[in-house]
Amino acid sequence: MRVVTRFVPSLLLIAGCTSPLSFDGRDGFENLAGEEAQLHLKERWPASVDGIEVRAMSYRAEFSRDSSSTWYRILLDADAAERWALHAHTETEQYSLSLVGKTHGIAAVEGVHCEIAGPPSLRDQTGATPAWWSPPKMDYRATEAMLWYSDSNSGVARAAYSAFDASAGVLWIYLYTCQHDTMWARANVPAGEHFGVDAQGKMSRHREENDENRSSYW
């Protein structure tokens, strides 16, 4: 079945998904061939993946004024899946870091690359979960970031989760943004490969192994 959901725009306060400017509403499709899906997603499609490498794809993005949730179910081979997943996690880190000092009072970023037992929790999700979203129980690559406001224990949570089910040839990705969500207390980042930038603009990256329930992925 081929389904395309039209996008309903209005103003969005903070960035959602991967774009610095976005809108309230919904966007999505179900079971499109790769090249057709690529035309729909435009700049959201990774440059490292060709449309012909994707056999079929389902996609849903839900936006509100200050949050967003995005789901992907992508049929492709393992090599292309790795490239797509790498794009999702790298972009989540880089875009989060780019907002410090530039967007709505974001003063610092704390983030982590790690591995979690899945499927990932759809915490404070925006909109309804698409009917086709049925990710398997397996380990998921996770990139999580807290974008902290200045002089505050509040901020914006951003995350990307992915796993490739080799038996089915399916890559599952969930992207998430929510203002005033708190994934951890400030300066208490979970175990994994840490990244961040402080209020003075100093970048940092190091490995921290202190959580039995998480392991470093990269």
Q: What is the largest CA-CA distance in the chain?
A: 51
How many other C-beta atoms lie within 10 A of the C-beta of residue 148? Answer: 24
pLDDT score at 5: 58
pLDDT score at 211: 53
Q: Are 150 and 174 in contact (CB under 8 A)?
A: no
pLDDT score at 45: 98
Q: Where are the alpha helices (DSSP H) in 143-208?
A: none
pLDDT score at 216: 39
pLDDT score at 3: 57
pLDDT score at 39: 98
Low-confidence ranges of the chain (pLDDT < 50): 6-22, 213-218
Q: Are 196 and 190 in contact (CB under 8 A)?
A: no
pTM as predicted? 0.86
Whole-angstrom CA distances from 17 to 12, 112, 126, 172, 206 are: 12, 18, 12, 16, 25
Q: Are 162 and 177 in contact (CB under 8 A)?
A: no
pLDDT score at 135: 98
